[in-house]
Structure 1
């Protein structure tokens, strides 16, 4: 599958970056949704606003692309060379922003301070499907809507403008939607009518069969045997601030029994990630199951009272938690608890705002 205009844009991005005045950037998790949304939207801006000189930035280090085999698979299917893409290694984004380069955020709606300075950056556009943080209200467009995938909103935005899209671009967005919604499943609680509508249009544009594309993406995404536990925890990790410092949530596309087959001391590995980021609290959300989608939850906490209160709170949010084994103590004094999560619709996107409100209200001065 080839796409001359889209492919040419991507192939020329490194040259374009020397004079770019707009950077379309996904979130620092750098998953398929963020990457596809940034690449396709940057190309659309080039087509629709010729006076702008945009590039797309993948907000992680180049070496980490190998941590996401599903992304590599889909790029290959779309005949896109990853060497053409721009990563944090390739751009001095902070310098560009200080020089007046504008930012268009996709798959997040608040700047990541590790990527660029909040006080200097000018955010002129946002398309996102997460909880509205209330930041960058001057951005235009500022599209923050409920959807299973940011790629859905990007596709809607582009197709409303052009009515068409090249096959390779449509393939990237379609793949992101299917992966984020678990093949448009209703049971995950993520999928909206907008996701179904956009997926149907995109699959027709790239001439792909839904189930086949999803199966190939899902199979590719499980090829993680060469990753250490530290890399699995880092590949899709996000953190937020609260009165006691920071807390983090990592997403790992494995179930507990699969991970424990290659990691005999999982509690210690999770505690190591928390220590590396100086976190008093870390949640690890596991997912998997080819026929029946499942979620599991691991909580690491350095404070017993906080841990017990948090478990009570989450059970009150109807996560349908079932304990998997006894609580474990780790060398740094922290505790680790593991659960099956019966309500698979509660993803990180839904749990994090609830957790944040809980911490702000009840734990301003944790013991």
Structure 2
């Protein structure tokens, strides 16, 4: 019988994930949180981040099971449970992996039985995947390992392994390390095909079907494929098919509300400032694959004010001081060719950590940083309805295709860190 409408998953991977979650909660209740390692990705919670965390947690536990130092490890998804389905490709991949409905097999941020700041000091440590440094709430936890394909920020200098490598998918780094260690064991542990296929999906979607993959992405995908239930199929055809299924799911966002779009790929953290009055400011970034005009049409009243009201309700709920929505969409140029256009929507609040005067000054500081940024000055211009915007709101458009969150976030955080 389903419990609360949840259908229990089938297969070894689902059973392991559910049992691990249960064991952690039992141990926490008994005061044994110190025995646990959290493997965690970034707050965006994309398929790469989720898969890398699940893969390494599974490997760490199974590879040490018959040793004198067995590890207790669990993947912590740093997104709320109800936000997981805001990435349809994740839902599809987990369904294919025969996981329980409602993601009840997985430990998500809102299911932690204790505040992360406290838990960080109690657990054995954290392992970062697809993320170069922990967010503020986990900063007191020892960093045991890092696997990432972004820029090294210097966190966890003593972490082992500590791997930063430019590959399309972070899951490539994790899966390669897993295979290397697995094949060096006296006896290999069981690797469930559901997890292997999840790994292939993460690598495929991040590398655009391996078309934009590095040699390591391709080699690792082939090694995983040989162990999967698909091993007798044509590799290229299967990757192409898998990529198309996940890509189609990823694009299926038309039914999502503005609040859904703001939440589905949102990352935030506290940023230190030199200001003695306000030593930290909470800065949040949403990445949305729709123009602001398209999003406005999704609001109840189809109006600009309504979009900002929805955005304000969401950022108030999570205590954001500076919110930035990074929108992207495609338009046709005069020759009929599609080109990518990006938007930066800036909004500064005065009701969380900062007062009106500080908010005004902080808005001017971030505004200036964006306007003067060399990375963003490719056709940077004010949005066509900028004169309708409210206080401490601004929207720009630009045509630097590569200037997404990885470029914009450091520009804004650097400005905040220098604000007094």
Q: TM-score range by the shorter chain?
A: 0.7 to 0.9
Among residues 30, 35, 45, which one is paired with 1:30 in the alignment? Answer: 45
Deviations 1:19-44 (A, max 9, x none): 45222122222221221111111111
Given that 1:328 and 1:336 are in contact with CA atoms closer than 8 Å, whether structure 2 keeps it comes out as no
Match of 1:312 in 2: 371
Counterparts in 2 of 1:316 and 1:288: CA distance versus 1, 3 Å: closer
Higher mean C-alpha deviation, range 149-158 or range 196-205: 196-205
Which SS does the other structure have where 2:110 is aligned? Answer: coil
Among residues 282, 286, 293, which one is paired with 2:328 in the alignment? Answer: 286
CA distance in 1, matches of 2:211, 2:413: 27
**Superposed structure 1 runs of 4+ greater than 6 Å apart:** none
1:305 Cα offset (Å)? 4.5
Given that 2:130 and 2:148 are in contact with CA atoms closer than 8 Å, whether structure 1 keeps it comes out as yes
Match of 2:18 in 1: 11
Q: Unaligned regions of 5+ residues in structure 2, if any?
A: 1-8, 28-34, 276-280, 332-336, 349-359
Given that 2:365 and 2:415 are in contact with CA atoms closer than 8 Å, whether structure 1 keeps it comes out as no
Match of 2:86 in 1: 67
CA distance in 2, matches of 1:265, 1:72: 31
Match of 2:282 in 1: 246
Counterparts in 2 of 1:6 and 1:168: CA distance versus 1, 3 Å: same
The 5-angstrom pairing of residues 29-48 of structure 1 reads 29-48=44-63
Match of 1:297 in 2: 343
CA distance in 2, matches of 1:147, 1:3: 32
Deviations 1:5-64 (A, max 9, x none): 434322312222134522212222222122111111111111211111212121222122
Given that 1:44 and 1:158 are in contact with CA atoms closer than 8 Å, whether structure 2 keeps it comes out as yes
1:99 Cα offset (Å)? 3.6
Deviations 1:140-198 (A, max 9, x none): 22222223322121112112222595432222222223333444454xxxx54433433
Given that 1:328 and 1:335 are in contact with CA atoms closer than 8 Å, whether structure 2 keeps it comes out as no
Deviations 1:227-280 (A, max 9, x none): 321221122111241537233221123345643442333565257536624434
The 5-angstrom pairing of residues 92-107 of structure 1 reads 92=113, 94=116, 96-107=119-130
Given that 2:326 and 2:344 are in contact with CA atoms closer than 8 Å, whether structure 1 keeps it comes out as yes
Counterparts in 2 of 1:238 and 1:88: CA distance versus 1, 3 Å: closer
Match of 1:262 in 2: 298
Correspondence 1:195 to 2:217: yes
Correspondence 1:233 to 2:292: no
Counterparts in 2 of 1:323 and 1:156: CA distance versus 1, 3 Å: farther
Given that 2:39 and 2:57 are in contact with CA atoms closer than 8 Å, whether structure 1 keeps it comes out as yes
Given that 1:267 and 1:328 are in contact with CA atoms closer than 8 Å, whether structure 2 keeps it comes out as no
Counterparts in 2 of 1:146 and 1:287: CA distance versus 1, 3 Å: farther
Given that 2:40 and 2:53 are in contact with CA atoms closer than 8 Å, whether structure 1 keeps it comes out as yes
Counterparts in 2 of 1:198 and 1:330: CA distance versus 1, 3 Å: same
Among residues 78, 81, 91, which one is paired with 2:97 in the alignment? Answer: 78
Higher mean C-alpha deviation, range 271-280 or range 126-135: 271-280
Match of 1:364 in 2: 419
Among residues 388, 392, 403, which one is paired with 1:334 in the alignment? Answer: 392
CA distance in 2, matches of 1:43, 1:199: 18
Match of 1:218 in 2: 247
Q: Which has the larger radius of gyration?
A: 2
Given that 2:295 and 2:307 are in contact with CA atoms closer than 8 Å, whether structure 1 keeps it comes out as no
Q: TM-score, normalised by structure 2?
A: 0.72
1:220 Cα offset (Å)? 1.4
- How many residues align? The count is 352
Q: Unaligned regions of 5+ residues in structure 1, if any?
A: none
